[in-house]
Amino acid sequence: MRTDGTRVAGVLLAGGLARRMGGGDKGLQRVGGKPILQRVVERVRPQVELLLLNANGDPARFAELPYLKGMPVVPDGIEGYAGPLAGVLAGLDWLADNAPDITDLLSIPTDCPFIPKDLRDHMVGARDGAGAQLACARSGPVADPGDGSTEDGWQAHPVVGLWPVALRHELRHAMVGEGLRKIDAWTARYPLAYADFRDEPVDPFFNANTPEDVAEADRLAAECPGL
């Protein structure tokens, strides 16, 4: 049982158009013999209280996937494919209405086949340790430098974020009232912590955005079976 007092749900962000993949659901591309989405679910589900799928279009296309059985499919509440923030907002709104005991939402893209298996604890620890309101993931050559530095070689991953449900009204105002779309523009308004992860032997936030990326991820999975 968790003892840090934080109850975290996860939202798998699959609401984009996947233009660089030629359309369709990027997460259904296969890496290491299984769909990327299945790999992400298997890695994230044990870490969180519950898991949501943010996806637009007909949710029936996911109904026959056994690894998504019982998972709520939550579409964007803002029209026009407004980007990952729309998926975060949709997840926050769903939690407020359906799971009021959840304090935070962890957002995870569905095109990252190597998502860390300790993502939740590392994100919460980084945020709480820094006394921040938000956290996002960062990958680089050394884990946990401990000084908040942004030295060369570090790559921030704003889509992999930890979001308090209590901020949902502020996020909605920013998106609907101000037209805000960029995650960095939103997180810049609050104290933000970075959760640092090693990028060896593979960057855990490797994005399979194109067919070439999928082929590379499949090669990496074959070379590093424990990933």
What CA–CA distances, in Å, run from 46 to 1, 9, 62, 111?
12, 11, 20, 19
Residue type, 14: A
Region for residue 65 given its phi and psi (left: phi exceeds 0; alpha: psi -120 to 50; beta: otherwise): beta
Tens-digit pLDDT profile for the chain (227 aa)?
A: 455 689 999 999 997 544 443 345 778 999 999 999 999 999 999 999 999 999 998 888 888 899 999 999 999 999 888 899 999 999 999 999 999 999 999 999 999 999 999 999 999 999 999 999 999 999 998 645 554 444 567 899 999 999 999 999 999 999 999 999 999 999 999 999 999 999 989 999 999 989 999 999 999 999 987 77
Between CA 88 and CA 105 the distance in angstroms is: 8
**Residue stretches of the annotated binding site for GTP:** 13-15, 26, 54, 76, 111
Q: What is the CATH number of domain 8-223?
A: 3.90.550.10
Between CA 173 and CA 9 the distance in angstroms is: 22
**Residue stretches of the annotated binding site:** 13-15, 26, 54, 76, 111
Between CA 137 and CA 122 the distance in angstroms is: 9
Question: Nearest CA to 193 among 168, 166, 164, 169?
Answer: 164
List the structure tokens of 22: 């030629």
What CA–CA distances, in Å, run from 189 to 41, 82, 164, 167?
31, 19, 14, 12
Q: Which residues pair with 192 in a beta bridge?
A: 134
Given a contact cutoff of 8 angstroms between Cβ atoms, the answer to whether 114 and 206 are in contact is yes
**Residue stretches of the annotated binding site for Mg(2+):** 111
Task: Give the CA diameter of the chain.
Answer: 48
